[in-house]
Structure 1
Amino acid sequence: MRAPGVVHHGTRRRRAAYRRVVWSGAEVLVTVGVVLLLLVVHQLWWTNRQAQHGAERKVQALEREWGTPAPGSAAPDASTADGASAGTGTGKTGGGRTGDGKTDAGAAGQSSSSGGNSGQVRPRWSQAYAVLSIPRLSLRVPVAEGVSKADVLNKGYVGHYKGTQQPGQAGNFALAGHRNTHGEPFRYLPRLRRGDTITVETRTAVYTYTVDRTLPQTSPRDGGVIRPVPRSTVRPAYGYSRPGYYITLTTCTPDYTSRYRMAVWGKLTAMRPR
């Protein structure tokens, strides 16, 4: 008969140590997995829930505020740049010049000093001052001044690009919004089609734009899409060549990345006082 093998105490200790290392490593991997899962849930669900509820409350607050006319406020009239396209009610966008004879592109540089809407005080940085509605997307969301992530976009708001026009002005009223997380107001922006309507409500007026063109993908540095006469500098076949009354909606593309941007353009077709 063969003698049974002898297992030394040192071998047992090494095996026990090996098992402890493997077990500890497995525990660490499980813990990391749970943490990552919680982060994903927080980013994809909780931030959306918080931002969407906050945006809804802000829309309701603005509507309550507008229920009583602000002291000294007045509805826009056809003699201002804001009312240029709405005075006739025909949906025309007022040609290539503003009331003072300057081109729309020239008027764009005056947006920050003109204040956007007749009778409306220029919005403060990160202030919510308008409501954007897109029926096709079942979207109704606040518009705030600026495109800061912390102060505007991450709250589920849509942000107004500083230096672009205000609602109803000749030039380009340009907006940005998240496509994923933090309320993702522009989650379904690619669903917009030519002829869809976009409305922008302020304290004094309601502006209706009609979707006209879409730029599916461009560089994040393509500043041409938000110029007074919007035209892509990366893909020049997309955009316009004549002054008008435009709206631009921008967001990241494709889903869950910020590698590219997309833009949807529309033209002002109607305006009415509140």
Structure 2
Amino acid sequence: MRGRIPVVVQARGPARRGRGPVGRALFSCAEGLVTCGVLLVLLVAHQLWWTNEQARAEAGRSVRALEREWDASPPVVSPSETNETNETPETPGVPGAGEVPGGASSSTGQGGGGPGGGGRDRDGTSRAATRGAGSAYAVLRIPRLGLTVPVAAGVGKRTVLDRGYVGHYPGTAAPGRTGNFALAGHRNTHGEPFRYINRLQPGDTLTVRTRDGTFTYRVDRVLPQTSARDTGVVQPVPRSLVHPSYGYDRPGAYLTLTTCTPEFTSRYRLVVWAKLVSG
């Protein structure tokens, strides 16, 4: 017939065969590797970014709540707080960014008397302890690092450190008092407040604000690395048991910062010591 275009129909060849056992195994392995890679990336992002965001947000809210509370009510110092002494039992470990050694994971402070959240009420109990496990009672500021972080009673990971707070070692002195006001904080993840304390230098100032006032300390010495079990660094007169040339030999009002080193490990501890200059 004129004007019609012929249609050519070609027969289909045999259907393509499916993958063999080896092909299917290789494909499954590739899928598994891709899935593991994605999960690993998500885990790293969670640890290095999301935990920091969460912890910093909570720590910021805590600081604002504390300072609103203090600004709304003036400090009240009871007569019994003026003549108290500190007794500091041995702390069996020096927790930092990665772990809390056995025995040092208590969540409540037992600090001696004195002004601030670590002081004692009329009945002799620690104010920090009466606020409850993990309760923030002070604010630490380190101008050189641009750091403002709440201080809570105890050095438990879940109740204190993982929330982005700095932990007050149980049994160590209260802020501004004679003895050793010793603190621990994460260096990596969960807010990592102490990530850059290795940058502190002698002469740098730190402040600790409590309900009863602000105490100013000046950085004096830095111990770059010591054992996680070096309990001497948090004693009332701090001196390293591992490196005896680092530390002090007479009583004073000290502030100790401890964290893990090197970064992203928990093998050793980095220690910064400061002395009270006012407050």
Task: Give the conservation status (yes or no) of the 8 Å contact 2:203–2:219.
Answer: yes
**Alignment size in residue pairs:** 234
SS in 1 for 2:128: coil
CA distance in 2, matches of 1:164, 1:153: 17
Tell me which of 25, 28, 39 is aligned to 1:35: 39
Instruction: From the CA coordinates, give the structure whose radius of gyration is larger.
Output: 2
Once the two structures are TM-superposed, the CA of residue 67 in structure 1 deviates from its matched residue by 1.0
Q: Structure 1 residues 192, 115: closer, same or farther in 2, change over 3 A?
A: same
Q: Structure 1 residues 41, 270: closer, same or farther in 2, change over 3 A?
A: same
SS in 2 for 1:246: strand
Map of 2:273 onto structure 1: 265
SS in 2 for 1:144: strand
- 1:116-127 counterparts in 2 under 5 A? 116-117=114-115, 121=121, 122-124=127-129, 125-127=133-135
Q: Structure 1 residues 215, 200: closer, same or farther in 2, change over 3 A?
A: same
Map of 1:74 onto structure 2: 77
Tell me which of 252, 258, 269 is aligned to 1:244: 252
**Structure 2, gaps ≥5 residues long:** 1-16, 90-108, 122-126
SS in 1 for 2:244: coil
- 1:26-65 counterparts in 2 under 5 A? 26-65=30-69
Counterpart of 1:108 in structure 2: which amino acid?
Answer: E
**Structure 1, gaps ≥5 residues long:** 1-11, 82-97, 99-106
RMSD: 2.3
Q: Structure 1 residues 19, 112: closer, same or farther in 2, change over 3 A?
A: closer
Once the two structures are TM-superposed, the CA of residue 16 in structure 1 deviates from its matched residue by 0.8
Map of 2:216 onto structure 1: 208
CA distance in 2, matches of 1:192, 1:42: 28
For the pair 1:179 / 2:192, whether they are aligned, the reply is: no
CA distance in 2, matches of 1:239, 1:193: 16
Q: Structure 1 residues 204, 75: closer, same or farther in 2, change over 3 A?
A: farther
Identity value in percent: 59
Map of 2:166 onto structure 1: 158
How high is the TM-score relative to the length of structure 2? 0.79
Counterpart of 1:73 in structure 2: which amino acid?
Answer: V
Map of 1:9 onto structure 2: none
For the pair 1:25 / 2:29, whether they are aligned, the reply is: yes
SS in 1 for 2:274: strand
CA distance in 1, matches of 2:262, 2:145: 18
Q: Structure 1 residues 76, 188: closer, same or farther in 2, change over 3 A?
A: farther
Counterpart of 2:225 in structure 1: which amino acid?
Answer: Q
- 1:189-228 counterparts in 2 under 5 A? 189-228=197-236
Task: Give the conservation status (yes or no) of the 8 Å contact 1:108–1:170.
Answer: no
